[in-house]
Amino acid sequence: MKSFIKKGDRVKVLSGNAKGTEGQVLQVLPKEGKAIVEGVNIKTKHRKPTAQKPEGGIEKNEAPIWMSKLMVIDGSGKATRVGRKADETGKLKRYSKKSGDFID
């Protein structure tokens, strides 16, 4: 799946329990069409004690979220659609369709 979201981008969640929250993309999973976003879709996992972690306990981790629910935030702080166009050197770059500025 072609994705305009990259690792390190600031994104806004468009729907679901975390609607309206913003976070940074930690990892992109293009084959699954998902991304892991900091502070969004937190799942709780109960771990048994092991030799490495004898205390065991409860771990909270971010789970992947569908990329269709995410929108990139441009430099002005607004969520925007993303396009691609050539810069002055002729190289294709991502740009904000709302402001027209290049992203990155």
Q: Please give the radius of gyration of the chain, using alpha carbons only, rounded to the nearest integer.
A: 17
User: Average pLDDT, stretch 67-96?
Assistant: 91
Q: What pLDDT digit, counting tens, does each position of 4-24 carry?
A: 899 999 999 999 999 999 999
| Report field, pTM of the whole predicted structure over 0.85 | no
Question: How many domains, in total, are found in the chain?
Answer: 1
Q: How many CB atoms lie within 10 A of CB 85?
A: 10
Q: What pLDDT digit, counting tens, does each position of 83-101 carry?
A: 999 989 999 999 999 988 8
Task: Return the sign of the alpha-carbon dihedral for residues 8, 67, 37, 81.
Answer: positive
For residue 34, being part of any structural domain is answered with yes
In the 3-class helix/strand/coil scheme, how is 2-47 assigned residue by residue? CCCCCCCCEEEECCCCCCCCEEEEEEEECCCCEEEECCCCEEEEEE
Residue 60: domain span: 10-73
Q: Helices H, strands E: what count in the chain?
A: 0, 10
Proportion of the chain above pLDDT 90, given as a percent: 74
Kindly report the CATH number assigned to the domain that includes residue 64: 2.30.30.30
For residue 24, being part of any structural domain is answered with yes
